[in-house]
Amino acid sequence: MISSVMTATLCGPDTELIRVETDISQGLPQLSIVGLPDATVRESKERVRSAIASSGCDFPLRRITVNLSPADTRKEGSHFDLPVAVGILIASEIIDPALTEGSAFFGELSLNGGLNRAEHGVALALGLKEKGIHSIFVPDGSIGEFTNIDGVSFYAASTLSEIVDHLSGLKPIVPAVFDFAGGWGGGDGAHATGSGCGAEGGGASPCAAAVAVCGDFAEVKGQERAKRALQICAAGRHDIAMYGPPGSGKSMLASRMPPILPPLSRREILEVTKIYSIAGRDPYEGRTVLGRPFRAPHHSISAAALVGGGSRPRPGELSLAHRGVLFLDELPEFERRALEMLRQPLEDRYIDLSRVGYRSRYPCEFILIAAMNPCPCGYYGDPTHECGCTERQRRRYASRVSGPLLDRIDLHTRVGRVEYSELSDTERGSCSSAELYAGVVKAVGRQRERNSPPDGAEASAGAEDEGEARFTYNGDLSASDTEKHCALTGEAERIMRSAYDAYGFSARQGKKLQRVARTIADLDGSDEILACHITEAISYRRPKDILGDAEG
Amino acid sequence: MNMQNSAPGGEARYGEAISGEQYGSLGIEDSGYPKALRGIADPPPRLYYMGKLAALENPMVAIVGARRATDYGRWAAYNLAHRLSERGVAVVSGMAEGIDSFAHKGALEGPTPTIAVMGNGLDICFPKSNLALRERIARSGLLLSEYSEGTHGTRFTYPARNRIISGLSIATVVVEAGLSSGSLITAEYAAAQGREVYAVPGNINRKLSVGCNKLIKDGVLPLVFLDDILDDLGLRTKAKAVRRGKAGTVGMLVGEKRDPAPYDISCAAGMGELGADEVLVLGAVCEHGEMTVDDAAMLAKLSVPTVTCAVTLLEMKGYVHFDGGRIMVAN
């Protein structure tokens, strides 16, 4: 007989439903797999043969043909082992086909019949859910990855024989159903900054948990202005560039960002988990990504690793930082080609990777934190160290980062050297992460109310989000929304106009500053952008004579 | 006057770049030859020029300084030059990197042409990075050299042209200089030629201030206010008229001498243009000198956002200079 079992394969960021058809017919004992399998899938027949035998079932000694349909899509991954095995078992009438209706399978088989974790589990499960699959059979070892996916029953098994027993009714597996309202999100990531939308979960604040890992802003002394700038970034999803001499605390400041970021919403958690799943990397060791990612690639990174690439494009650091922070330390040391690739994603917040036969669009809504020295020796503008660089050296260093790239960054601030007296001065207040976080949560709340699309537009698309409104961070407001939400009136408008003349802003810089001012007003709890908000925003403009603009 | 408007072979390469501009040379006997220069000990027998000879008719002040300049030096050179240019003074400098370039740039923002004296033939641009600047000066100002086309600069030609820079000018201002700086040579020439020399004072713990501070110790006039030099040249009254005409423009107050005491905050506040926070911040910066926003917040007992806000307003009103990190009083 011919059997048919469902599984899936990845095509870029999308999942394609794959039907595994198995035919057992008369002929010499042989197992052939057709339908564009890659080497891993082709090798699966050896694993399947041994696994079935080890599970106490008979491997049919007849001619077996497995077809992976649609036949023109490339199939890759070791997760095809389980569906192929189940297909053979159905075709040899060991399992009743009716029991696998609406189910999908993925998992890698061991020769002894055990089930191993396969890559891309979450991405596949999310895709299958969209395609109307209601039960998924997965390896026991990777069940932890799926805790954020609701509406699907997960049957976790550690061996093939457990699945056979379940499907033949001998020993049913209790499905794991994850329900957001109920119990998911035990905060199993040490990195977790949020245990759900709104962070209402009682007990310690998510910020405190993350502070234990990342460190507290209170430990950074004498950099209140930089902290304020980072708070604005966290609240409104703005990008920032910090300039300063070595040892002034740029990296220290950046690494303390995760705790003050707003908690991830459910939808965001799924987005992030999916990207990590597609990347096939698992920095969270099988746990769901609950905290906002913090990516700090070394400056030797290649362009492809930064933006994503490969013949079947995989997400790069840009997308791995989605909904989190991308920290580029020593910006001018990065490969020029890699940096220039940031231009379009910084503007559009997604990246299209086009290869022959594939076009993958990955999101990259991260907060960019760029840090750099003002000159090769690092001490230009420092009041105590003498800068030993010539004008030409400075200019060459500066020209490694292009003007258009810096133009796309919302906030700019210098981070100065801190005197010893300031470090030891206990009277000087030092703003803590908890204080900053409280401000961010408040400001995000205001944005959620104001920047949500009008009712109805998203009602159908976000229906399953159970009232969790989609909203845009101030930093991502479109041109028309900027007009609407960031309007300047009276005194603020007057100040902005004279600032345009005084500092020669480009239209883009002006709009960016308006959005930054909106976030500052949100942090202040103000409905209108007041004069003090726009002036503070203007102070974060791109300095004229630092990197990139030697014309002074 | 000996005008050579036909391009000799050597200039042809630059013929396009300077089309429409005047270029040629002046012998020491020519009537257009600057009188001030004729009076120095070792006047160049022939001056090659490119640009507008009319620039030589203005009173001239030289601004010179280090190539590796600090923000402070650049700021001082730029603003001083701008101010002088607005008062009808032609700024003379050597178009080197650093202070020289910023002096030219500041002067180009004003209405009076600026004069660059080169240590090489006029068809050569040195440093190359100043190509755009050279173009701007050639178009609206004047390039001078005692060397004919094709002469490359050497370690001797650059110091030698300094005598022309000081010789053309009524006064020479040294903005920033190390101990062995070429600007000190210019100052020496100026003193020997009987011209006024000013030095912009700097912090005593900075390498680039030592030259200037030492000049002051040796009896050179310190430039305490940007307007000092205008007073001495008798250009102050004219200046006031110009300023009144453009009152209200952002940045107009930079460098303005405020009477009676320039840093009397109550006086500034009395003008009704500063808010309470701005007065506090300005007071702190005036009292303690260059500082960060954090320092100002602590000294003025204000929050960081409030100080940031006040600083931006102060900067737009021209009271301070803020580079995104440190706040500096704008004289």
When comparing pLDDT for A34 and B68, which is higher? Answer: A34
Does residue A260 register a pLDDT over 50?
A: yes
Phi, psi of A385 (to 5 degrees): -85, 140
Closest-CA residue to A255 (of A300, A210, A198): A210
Helix A224-236 / helix B304-317 crossing angle, nearest 10 deg: 100
Regarding whether B325 and B177 lie in a shared domain, the answer is: no
Q: Centre a 10 Å sphere on the Cβ of residue A275 and count the other Cβ atoms it contains.
A: 26
Q: How far apart are CA B181 and CA B196, in angstroms?
A: 19
Please give, rounded to a whole number of angstroms, the shortest distance from the CA of A226 to a CA of chain B: 9
CA dist., res. A531 & res. A533, Å (int) = 5
Q: Flag the least confident range among B125-129, B256-260, B279-283.
A: B256-260
Comparing CA positions, the residue from A159, A81, A85 lying closest to residue A118 is A81
Looking at the domain assignment, is residue A186 inside a domain? no
Residue-level pLDDT at A68: 95
A415 touches chain B (CB under 8 A): yes
Contacts of residue A256, defined as CB under 8 A and 6 or more positions apart, other chains included, come to A214, A215, A216, A217, A219, A220, A230, A433
Residue for token digits 């005047």?
Answer: B22
Provide the domain count of chain A. 2
The answer to whether residue B69 scores a pLDDT higher than 70 is: yes
Shortest Cα distance from A256 to chain B (angstroms)? 19
Res B331: pLDDT: 59
| pLDDT over 70 percentage in chain A | 87
B81 and B165 in a common domain? yes
Are both B159 and B70 inside the same structural domain?
yes
The model's pTM? 0.77
> Which of A67-76, A178-187, A209-218, A346-355 shows the lowest mean pLDDT across its residues?
A178-187
Q: What's the structural domain count of chain B?
A: 2
Same domain as A264, residue A168: no
Tell me whether residues A414 and B325 touch, CB distance under 8 A. yes
Q: What pLDDT does A281 receive?
A: 64
Q: Is A112 part of any domain? A: yes
| Pairwise pLDDT comparison (A424 vs A430), residue with the higher score | A430
- Among candidates A293, A297, A258, which has minimal Cα distance to A272? A293
β-bridge mates for residue A351, sequence order: A362
CB-CB contact of B308 with A225 (8 Å): yes
Cβ neighbours of A541 in B, within 8 Å = 324
In contact, A361 and A350? CB cutoff 8 Å: yes
CB proximity A424 to B under 8 Å = no
Per-residue model confidence (pLDDT) at position A6: 94
What pLDDT shows up at residue B44? 93
Whether residue B262 has pLDDT greater than 50: no
pLDDT category at A285 given cuts 50, 70, 90 is low
Tell which residue, A113, A150, A120, A121, has the closest CA to residue A137: A121
Whether A74 maps to a domain, the answer reads yes
Residue-averaged pLDDT of chain A: 84
Integer Cα distance of B209 and B199 in angstroms: 10
Same domain? B131 vs B211: yes
Instruction: State how far the Cα of A351 lies from the Cα of A341, in Å rounded to an integer.
Output: 10
pLDDT exceeds 50 at position A411: yes
Cis omega before residue B113 (within 30°)? no
Residues A164 and A218 in one domain: no
Whole-angstrom distance, CA of residue A64 vs CA of residue B53: 96
Q: B1 pLDDT exceeds 70?
A: no
Per residue in A431-459, pLDDT tens?
Answer: 889 999 999 999 999 998 888 876 544 44
Please state the rounded mean pLDDT for residues A130-157: 87
B278 shares its domain with B167: no
Note whether A384 contacts B205, CB cutoff 8 Å.
Answer: yes
Q: What is the mean pLDDT of residues A358-383?
A: 88
pLDDT value for A551: 38
What pLDDT does A195 receive?
A: 32
Is A495–B313 a contact, with Cβ atoms under 8 angstroms apart? yes
pLDDT value of residue A389: 84
Between these two residues, B114 and A379, which has the higher pLDDT value? B114
Contacts with A381 from chain B: Cβ below 8 Å: 70-71, 323, 325-326
Integer Cα distance of B186 and B44 in angstroms: 16
Is the pLDDT at A515 greater than 90, yes or no? Answer: yes
Least confident of A182-196, B47-61, B205-219: A182-196
State yes or no: pLDDT of A546 exceeds 50. Answer: no
Burial (CB count <10 Å: 0-12, 13-18, 19+), residue A211:
buried
Phi-psi region of A35 (alpha: psi -120 to 50; beta: other; left: phi over 0): left
* Residue B325 to residue A244, Cβ atoms within 8 A: yes
Sort out which chain A residues have CB atoms less than 8 A from B132's CB and list them.
551
pLDDT at A290: 66
Average pLDDT of the residues in A381-393: 79
Which of B71, B74, B305 faces A536 most closely, judged by CB atoms?
A: B305
Domain final residue pick, B231, B259, B276: B231
On whether the CB atoms of residues B329 and B286 are closer than 8 A, the answer is: yes
Residues A491 and A394 in one domain: yes
**Residue A517 vs residues A15, A431, A538: alpha-carbon distances, Å:** 41, 21, 8
Q: What is the mean pLDDT of residues A190-199?
A: 33
Domain range for B93: 9-231
> Tell me, what's the pLDDT at A503?
85
d(CA A135, CA A129): 9
- The mean predicted confidence, pLDDT, of chain B is 81
Residues of B in CB contact (< 8 Å) with A are 67-71, 74, 78, 97-98, 101-102, 105, 127, 129, 132, 203, 205-208, 250-251, 290, 292-294, 297-298, 304-306, 308-309, 311-313, 316, 322-326
Q: Does A274 touch chain B (CB under 8 A)?
A: no
CA A38 – CA A342 distance, rounded (Å): 33
Residue of A487 and A187 predicted with greater confidence: A487
pLDDT for A454 equals 67
- Is residue A192 assigned to a domain? no
| pLDDT, position B188 | 92
Mean pLDDT across A465-474: 67
Q: If you ran DSSP here, which 8-state letter would residue A263 be given?
A: P
Share of chain B above pLDDT 90, in %: 41
pLDDT, average across residues A1-11: 91
What's the CATH code of the domain at B293?
A: 1.10.10.10
Q: What pLDDT sits at residue A519?
A: 95
Residue at B55 is within a domain: yes
Least confident of A96-100, A343-347, B230-234, B247-251: B247-251
Q: Is the same domain home to B205 and B268?
A: no
Asked whether the beta carbons of residue B205 and residue A495 sit closer than 8 angstroms, the reply is: no
Asked whether residue A289 carries a pLDDT value surpassing 70, the answer given is no
Is B324 in Cβ contact with A540 (below 8 Å)? yes
| Spatial CA neighbour of A247 closest among A377, A109, A362 | A377
Which candidate, A390, A378, A377, places its Cα nearest to that of A416? A378
Pair (B157, B279) in one structural domain: no
Three-state helix/strand/coil letters over A16-71? EEEEEEEEEECCCCEEEEECCECHHHHHHHHHHHHHHHHCCCCCCCCEEEEEEECC
| H or E element at residue A325 | strand A325-328
Among candidate residues B161, B196, B231, the one where a domain is terminated: B231
Tell me whether residue A552 is in a domain: no
Say if A453 falls within a structural domain.
yes
**CA A212, A216, A220: angle at the middle one, nearest 5?**
150
Amino acid A145: pLDDT? 79
pLDDT-derived band at A329, boundaries 50, 70, 90: very high
Which of these, A205, A188, A190, lies nearest to A148 by C-alpha position?
A188
B264 confidence band (pLDDT: 50, 70, 90): very low
Decide: helix, strand or coil at residue A275.
helix
Higher-confidence residue of A551 and A59: namely A59
A546–B323: do the CB atoms touch at under 8 Å? yes
Domain boundary among B178, B202, B231: B231
A403 CB neighbour count, 10 Å cutoff = 13
Mean pLDDT value of segment B161-178: 93
Go through A434-453 and write b for each residue having 16 or more CB atoms within 10 A of its CB, e for each that does not: bbbbebbbebbebbbebbee
Range of A282's domain? 197-421+428-539
Nearby residues of A91 by Cβ (< 8 Å), 6 or more positions away: A1, A2, A3, A22, A23, A24, A60, A64
Alpha helices in A280-425 (DSSP H): 303-307, 317-320, 336-340, 343-348, 391-398, 403-407, 420-424
- Check pLDDT > 60 for residue A412: yes
- What is the token pair recorded at B305? 């956002």
Pair (A384, A457) in one structural domain: yes
Indicate which of B128, B252, B290, B309 best probes the interface with A, i.e. most A CBs within 10 Å of its own CB: B309
Instruction: CATH number of the domain at B138, please.
Output: 3.40.50.450
Residues B95 and B205 in one domain: yes
Whether pLDDT at A463 is above 60: no
Provide mean pLDDT across the span B95-124: 92
* Residue among B206, B304, B316 whose CB faces A224 most closely: B304
Contacts of A547 in chain B (CB under 8 A): none
Chain A residues in contact with B98 (beta carbon < 8 A): 391
What pLDDT does B325 receive? 80
pLDDT of residue A458: 46
Residues of B in contact with A524 (CB under 8 A): 305
Instruction: Please give the DSSP secondary-structure letter assigned to residue A159.
Output: B
The secondary structure of B112-161 as a DSSP string is S--EEEESS-TTS-SSGGGHHHHHHHHHHSEEEESSPTTPPP-TTHHHHH
